Amino acid sequence: MTLSTKHVLLIIAGGIAAFKSLELIRLLRARGCAVTCVLTKAGAEFVTPLSLQALSENRVYADLFSLTDESEMGHIQLSRSADLVVVAPASADLLAKMAGGHADDLASTVLLATDKPVLAAPAMNVRMWLHPATQANVATLAKRGVHFVGPDEGAMACHEYGPGRLSEPPMILAAIEALLDPGRRPLAGRHALVTSGPTHEPIDPVRYIANRSSGRQGHAIAAALAELGARVTLVSGPVAMPDPPGVAIRRIETAAEMLAACQNALPADIAVFAAAVADWRVANATDRKIKKTPDGSAPGLSLVANPDILATLARPGPERPGLVIGFAAETNDVAENATAKRLRKGCDWIVANDVSPETGIMGGVENAVLLVTAGGIETWPRLAKEEVAKRLAARIAEALQETPHPGPLPQGEREKKSPLPLRARAAEQTEVGGGVRPPGSENTAP
């Protein structure tokens, strides 16, 4: 959908996160959405009216008592001129003013006078966010119908850790789009294939080789894509996770079964390979349980490499999904290894994470990832795996937004009309295929 007929009134309060409002304006303007900025006094300490004006291509309002503003557009008119009022960042102070009904500057006056929906994206120190006063203000505002996006949890500019970070601009954009067009689901009509969990490679009918993947990250990605309207096929190894709602699930055990299930699920517009596929399977697996020998000698296991599902499906061809995303679980040199892996596997993006035992990421509930694309490397804060999934889904929706909808094209036509712009594809890649590594070093989305 397009926001080109919409108008957002963006209120920027004080805080180190105020600089992110510039990116939000850019995203909104790229969608044709009109943006009018209101800058608080504290906000002006962090961003300049000139930057806001240049990006919004619109006049910036700051002073409640400016006669010029009153003659051109009074604060009442300003408060009602937009389809949605967005407060990003929403400081603890501005939230308190909103809850208390204050009107002592332009931002608070506009928020008191408006008859339009309000979306607040809080950003503050973790203690300020967790303070009962702020929590009570947020509860009061939510009860009155104010919508919230975030805050995110992670490392803060003040060197503390916890909830309080401003949501990333794509997430705020997704919340804006959801409010301005509630029926809209940006991935509606798209088919997403997601792999998740470990694979089990049998040794005999009762024993197998496995790994510690919980499937939490892959399942959360499937759920997040479905929430944005995609038809999702989740190919999952054995996990204890509940099935994500609204997702078609294909349960498999081995890597070979996972590859077949993925190939059967094609065509897909998006493919996210989050599974921790076993790199090796047992070549001499038996149909009958291997007996212990009287002399106590152990049976020899002969291993053979499993197919690389990601590299196979990322190969250029009519069936290649438009956006192919792999994962890289590393214990060292994460950025370098992930960058090399993106090229080696032939995928468009790599979501990389550090799975050293001390991070607690493998099998844990949080993840700290780098997103490696053709355009560079983004470092995301440590977030709950569900938040990582939502953010990734929002990025996917953003990447597919401006591209033609593939629709039911005949085979062979799909490649020409890939939903991704050329620059986002791994077109420069020449080498495809996995490297050799020792058994047990499975890749993963933990």
**Which one, 61 or 327, has the nearer CB to ligand C5P?**
327
> Quick one: which segment of 19-27, 174-182, 320-328, 370-378 binds ligand C5P (CB under 6 A)?
320-328
> Quick one: which segment of 94-102, 115-123, 169-177, 302-310 binds ligand C5P (CB under 6 A)?
302-310
8 A C-beta contact, residue 367 and residue 392: no
> Quick one: which segment of 89-97, 130-138, 281-289, 301-309 binds ligand C5P (CB under 6 A)?
301-309
Strands 231-236 and 280-282: unpaired
8 A C-beta contact, residue 40 and residue 14: yes
**Which one, 410 or 438, has the nearer CB to ligand C5P?**
438
The Cβ of residue 250 has, within 10 Å, a number of other Cβ atoms equal to: 17
Amino acid identity, residue 63? D
Query: What's the number of CA atoms in the CB half-sphere (13 Å) around residue 41?
Result: 7
Assign 165 to helix, strand or coil: strand
**Could you give the CA distance from residue 83 to residue 116 in angstroms, rounded to a whole number?**
6
**Could you give the CA distance from residue 402 to residue 7 in angstroms, rounded to a whole number?**
20
User: With contacts defined by CB under 6 A, how many residues of the chain interact with ligand C5P?
Assistant: 14
Task: Tell me which of 239, 310, 323, 369 binds ligand C5P, using CB under 6 A.
Answer: 310
CB 33 → ligand C5P: shortest distance, Å?
35
Q: At 370, phi and psi to the nearest 5?
A: -110, 135
Task: Tell me which DSSP letter residue 114 carries.
Answer: -
Site string for ligand C5P, 401-440 (x = CB under 6 A): ---------------------------------x------
* Position 369 contacts ligand C5P (CB under 6 A): no
**Which one, 51 or 373, has the nearer CB to ligand C5P?**
373
By CB under 6 A, what part of segment 226-265 binds ligand C5P? 255
CB 324 → ligand C5P: shortest distance, Å?
9
* Position 195 contacts ligand C5P (CB under 6 A): yes
Query: What's the number of CA atoms in the CB half-sphere (13 Å) around residue 328?
Result: 29
**Which one, 58 or 312, has the nearer CB to ligand C5P?**
312
* Position 367 contacts ligand C5P (CB under 6 A): no
CB 287 → ligand C5P: shortest distance, Å?
24
| Alpha-carbon distances, residue 166 vs 91, 163, 232, 420 (angstroms) | 10, 9, 29, 28
**Which one, 180 or 338, has the nearer CB to ligand C5P?**
338
* Position 271 contacts ligand C5P (CB under 6 A): no
CB 272 → ligand C5P: shortest distance, Å?
8
CB 345 → ligand C5P: shortest distance, Å?
6
Residue nearest to ligand C5P (CB): 443
Q: What is the CA radius of gyration of the chain?
A: 25
* Position 443 contacts ligand C5P (CB under 6 A): yes
Give the list of residues 6+ apart from residue 340 with CB closer than 8 angstroms, or none.
Answer: none
CB 204 → ligand C5P: shortest distance, Å?
22
Do you know the residue count of the chain? 446
**Which one, 108 or 195, has the nearer CB to ligand C5P?**
195
8 A C-beta contact, residue 144 and residue 117: no
Identify the active-site residue in 33, 158, 262, 347: 158
Cis upstream peptide for 421 (omega within 30°)? no
* Position 164 contacts ligand C5P (CB under 6 A): no
C-alpha angle with apex 255: 249 to 258, nearest 5 degrees?
25
Strands 280-282 and 349-354: unpaired
Task: Tell me which of 306, 353, 367, 418 binds ligand C5P, using CB under 6 A.
Answer: 306
Strands 118-122 and 147-148: parallel
Task: Tell me which of 43, 154, 321, 326 binds ligand C5P, using CB under 6 A.
Answer: 326
CB 371 → ligand C5P: shortest distance, Å?
13
By CB under 6 A, what part of segment 277-296 binds ligand C5P? 277
Active site residue 158: yes
* Position 309 contacts ligand C5P (CB under 6 A): yes
- Find where tokens 């897909």 sit: 268
> Quick one: which segment of 153-161, 162-170, 273-281, 286-294 binds ligand C5P (CB under 6 A)?
273-281
Task: Tell me which of 60, 221, 252, 275 binds ligand C5P, using CB under 6 A.
Answer: 275
The Cβ of residue 153 has, within 10 Å, a number of other Cβ atoms equal to: 19
Structural element, H or E, at residue 282: strand 280-282
**Which one, 177 or 442, has the nearer CB to ligand C5P?**
442
Q: At 216, phi and psi to the nearest 5?
A: -60, -45
Query: What's the number of CA atoms in the CB half-sphere (13 Å) around residue 43?
Result: 33
Binding residues for ligand C5P, per CB under 6 A? 195, 255, 273, 275, 277, 306, 308-310, 326-328, 434, 443
What residues are annotated to the active site?
A: 158
